[in-house]
Amino acid sequence: MIHLNDYRKIVGDKVISEIYKKARGLYGKSIIHLNSTYMGGGVAEILNSLIPLFNEIGIDAGWRIIRGNPDLFNITKKFHNALQGDKINLSEIKKKLYVQTSEDFSVYTHLDHDCVIIHDPQPLPLIKFYKKRQPWVWRCHVDISNPNEQLWEFLKGFILNYDIAIFSSEEYKKDDIYLDQKIIHPVIDPLSPKNMELSEKVISKYLKKFGVPTDKPLLTQISRFDKWKDPEGVLDVFKLVKSEVDCRLVLCGSMATDDPEGVKIFKQVEKKANELIAKGEVILITSENNILVNALQRRSDVIIQKSIREGFGLVISEALWKERPVVASNVGGIPLQIVDGVNGLLVDPFDNEGFADRIVEIIKHPNLGKELGEKGKESVRKKFLVTRLLSDYLDLMRDMFCDRKN
């Protein structure tokens, strides 16, 4: 079990002391987080690290997932896409199944905590089926800067019942929801298996186990197989890079239980990359192994993130923390983490040639990559570690429960 004091060497004693200080006056308060999955995706990873720290400092924190059948996750995946601008056939049956899941869940799940925090759209309607006795917070991790209007109007019927909405970027705030809106950036846990220090021996072991040679420069994108991550576009960029420098590409992603489109997208990528896979130039990996992800990021010469939409993109902070040079799309939450030319490189997501040029530049000039990586780690240390998120949530709770002067 990792304890709060284990982060002292990373963030310093002042940060740790401030967290304990903020927790005073909140001892015994209870909060519950609800989302749609215990594994796969950034939300689950954040909660897995955050909940134990809450409990250690005297806050009674819990975590539950909404129970849903495949129909629910097919629907909410369409909702996710539509919130990021896709069209949707918002039929009455979709709406009914979506709401019915929350109603069924409410029958056997008591939420008598001092604060309820709902993550993303899947459990959003729950608030309709409880007698409201405490603050309810909706934590949206999705890029909702340009949502499908029909779906947004439907979801607003639930959102307006909440006390606070939390987004990852100022760009996601909405003028048509009349509740407090706050910005809290997601974070990584530097002591988790995905981000902890690894020896060269362990790195080599895991890359060998998963069939990743290291005989040439390695380009890697770590993402769900999701159209918004544009894995097929990454293949096009790789071909351009390959014409300039000999290298290899790894696309590695997990198959989250709440993402039914993952298998479909994976097969499309596999078909497009068939010849490159046969030559050993492209490697596709589907795995929940966090140490593998850690090893891949640490050994890669360039980390790519060619997202078309991106709520935040914790894989950016993960790579920066490992001092790796990152070439990423200038969309969503990514520019909150990367200052172009300072700690990484940003490119228009549809500019394949631009992506390829920046990648080639780093491969040909390794000192540039080293400089970007060093500055990247420091930026994450200051802004995007789990201790900062814990502090932000304590501020939120103090605002809700007690006078800030206490």
pLDDT in tens, 369-387: 999 999 999 999 999 999 9
pLDDT value of residue 405? 45
Residues of the chain above pLDDT 70, percent:
97
pLDDT in tens, 332-342: 999 999 999 99
Residues in the chain predicted with pLDDT less than 50, given as ranges, are: 403-406
Cα–Cα distance for residue pair 264/287, rounded to 1 Å:
16
347-350 long-range CB contacts below 8 Å, 24 or more apart?
A: 349/230, 349/233, 349/306, 349/307, 349/308, 350/233, 350/308
pLDDT value of residue 406? 44
pLDDT value of residue 404? 43
Q: Are 377 and 326 in contact (CB under 8 A)?
A: no
Closest CA to 19 of 402, 397, 400: 397
Q: Which residue has the tokens 């918002």?
A: 90
Q: Are 172 and 143 in contact (CB under 8 A)?
A: yes
pLDDT value of residue 308? 95
Closest CA to 356 of 231, 227, 245: 245
Three-state SS string across 136-176, please? EEEECCCCCCCCCHHHHHHHHHHHCCCCEEEECCHHHCCCC
pLDDT value of residue 262? 81
Q: Which two tokens stand for residue 253?
A: 């992603």
DSSP string, 219-277: EEEE--S-GGG-HHHHHHHHHHHHTTS--EEEEEE---TT-TTHHHHHHHHHHHTHHHH
Cα–Cα distance for residue pair 329/355, rounded to 1 Å:
9
Closest CA to 140 of 114, 159, 127: 159
Q: Are 401 and 164 in contact (CB under 8 A)?
A: no
Q: Which residue has the tokens 């310093």?
A: 12
Domains and CATH numbers, the chain: 4-187+385-401 (3.40.50.2000), 200-383 (3.40.50.2000)
pLDDT value of residue 68? 78
pLDDT in tens, 68-91: 788 888 999 999 999 999 999 999
